[in-house]
Amino acid sequence: MKGACGAMLLREEVELLRNIPYFNRVDPCKLKLLAFASYRISYEPGDAIFMQGDFPEATFVLLSGNVRLTASSPCGRCETTHAEPNSMLGEMCLLSDQPRAMTATALTNVEALKIGRDCLLRLVSDNPRMSFEISRVLAETLRDRIGGVGKRFSQEAVL
């Protein structure tokens, strides 16, 4: 209860959103709308943010804290990666309408913005700039993968 009022405000969230590649060229006014339309949610260490195989309903912008992402394949192999503040989680599954490819678990206290599926899609369709940014990030990810240069997951695009 104490923290509720003293915590981050909308305008601070907007600043944080601007640091994310997808959004850094989007009109700040639109970002404020995005921030307003999304939910501020906090997680405790160990909370699952989403589970592999779930149908995606939202994407998350990590505002603070660390998140572990694990993907287990049917043959039992496990892949683990981490996401750090100012990164976006789970947007690719949301855009491609596929079940979650990974499970996201909070490692520390995590503050995140939960952006609803409809909300994000609407924003993308309203802003050509944004869809361009998404294509760009996607293309970069793909290029990284094909290039196989160690960096398989760029921080900003975690599949």
Partner 1 sequence: MERNLLRYIWKHTRRQQVFILAIVLLSMVPYFAAFDLPKQIINGPIQGSGFETADSTALFMEFTLAVPFTDLSWSFEGFELDRMSMLMALSGVFLFLVIVNGLFKFYINTYKGRLGERLLRRIRFELVDRVLRFPPSALKQAHGAEVSTMVKDEVEPFGGFTGDAFVQPVMLGGQAAAALFFIFLQNLALGMIAFVMVAIQVGIIPKMRRRLIDLGRQRQITARHLAGKVGEIVDGIDTIHTYDTSNYERADIAHRLGHIYKIRYELYQWKFLVKFVNNFLSQLTPFLFYSIGGYFALKGSLDVGQLVAVINAYKDLPGPLKELIDWDQSRQDVQVKYEQVLEQFEHGQLVDPSLHEVKPVTPAYAGTVLAAQNLTVIDGSGAKTLDNVTLKIERGETIAIIDNAGNGGESLAESFARIVWPASGRVSLGDTDLLELPEAVSGRKISYASADSYFFHGSLKDNLLYGLKHAPTTSVTYSGEEATHRSWEIREAELAGNCAFDLNADWIDRRSTSVLRGFDDDLKQSLMRALDAVQLTPDVMELALHSYLDPEENPALAGRIVEMRHSLRETLQAEGLSNIVAHFDPATYNPEATVAENLLFAATRISSSSDGDVTESEYLFEVLEVSGLYEMLYEMGLKIADDLVEIFADLPPEHPFFQQLDRVSAEDIAKYQQLLQRMQSRTGAAITEEEARSVVRLSLHYVEPRYRFGVLTQDIMDAVVAARDKFYANLPANLRDRIERYDPHRYMAAATLRENVLFGKLSHRVADAPAKIRKIAGEIMREKGLFESFIALGLSFEVGTGGRRLTLTQRHKLSLARALVRRSDFYIFNRALPGLDRRVQEEIVKAVIDFLKEQDNDPTVIWVLSNTSLSRLFHRVIVFDRGTVAEDGSFEALDRDSGIFRSLVA
Question: Which residues from 47-66 bind partner 1, rule CB under 8 A?
Answer: 47, 49
Q: How far is the CB of 122 from partner 1 (least distance, A)?
A: 6
Q: How far is the CB of 76 from partner 1 (least distance, A)?
A: 26
Q: Does 46 bind partner 1 (CB under 8 A)?
A: no
Helix axes 117-126 and 28-37, enclosed angle (nearest 10): 160
Q: Alpha helix locations (H) across 1-148? A: 2-6, 10-18, 28-37, 91-96, 117-126, 128-147
Q: Does 32 bind partner 1 (CB under 8 A)?
A: yes
Q: Measured in whole angstroms, how far is the alpha carbon of residue 72 from the centre of its chain?
A: 20
Rank residues 9 and 142 by Cβ distance to partner 1 and give the closer one: 9
Q: Would you tell me how many other CB atoms lie within 10 Å of the CB of residue 22?
A: 22
Residues that bind partner 1 (CB under 8 A): 1, 3-5, 7-11, 13, 29, 32-33, 35-37, 39-43, 47, 49, 114, 118-119, 122
